[in-house]
């Protein structure tokens, strides 16, 4: 009975997180210029989303997001403990530098996602301006 309850809870949680990831995928692509959302929109893990912002240093973006209270990662999870570019992302033909990986979890709320989506375009624009990339 416990296993059935846990499995049912896991399925419901996966559905909830997948909807939040769908929101992130759509809004990041629509609201941040020159961004590439990585991976299949359907055949994917329900709690992960990765995207790359052109003309933005990935580490600078991670630090800027961290300063605003967002804990995100870069690269792919299989190379998270190294400084090497992700061979998985390279094999997929996407940018292997300057990307952000978001892992949603049980405590992630819609409000958390909305705050992230509200702040991300400005953060990216600020970093691009600091790098001398304007007019995108």
Measured at the CA of 28, the angle between CA 100 and CA 114, to 5 degrees, comes to 95
- Residue 78 known to be catalytic: yes
What span, in angstroms and rounded, lies between the C-alpha atoms of 30 and 17? Answer: 20
Please enumerate, as own/partner, the contacts of 18-27 that have beta carbons within 8 Å and a separation of 24 or more.
18/46, 18/47, 20/104, 20/108, 20/110, 20/113, 21/46, 21/47, 21/48, 21/49, 21/102, 21/104, 23/113, 23/117, 24/49, 24/102, 24/113, 24/116, 24/117, 25/49, 25/51, 27/117
Q: Which two tokens stand for residue 112?
A: 């958390």
Active-site annotation holder among 6, 78, 91, 136:
78
Residue positions annotated with a catalytic role: 78
């Amino acid at each position: 009975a416990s296993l059935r309850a846990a499995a049912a809870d896991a399925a419901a949680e996966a559905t909830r997180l997948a909807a939040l990831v769908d929101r992130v995928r759509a809004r990041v692509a629509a609201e941040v210029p020159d961004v590439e959302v990585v991976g299949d929109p359907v055949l994917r893990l329900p709690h992960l989303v990765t995207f790359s912002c052109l003309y933005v240093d990935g580490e600078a973006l991670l630090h800027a997001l961290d300063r605003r209270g967002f804990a995100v990662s870069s690269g792919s999870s299989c190379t998270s403990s190294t400084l090497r570019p992700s061979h998985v992302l390279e094999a997929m033909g996407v940018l292997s530098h300057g990307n952000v990986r978001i892992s949603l979890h049980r405590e992630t709320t819609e409000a958390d996602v909305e705050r992230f989506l509200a702040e991300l375009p400005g953060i990216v624009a600020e970093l691009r301006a600091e790098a001398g990339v304007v007019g995108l």
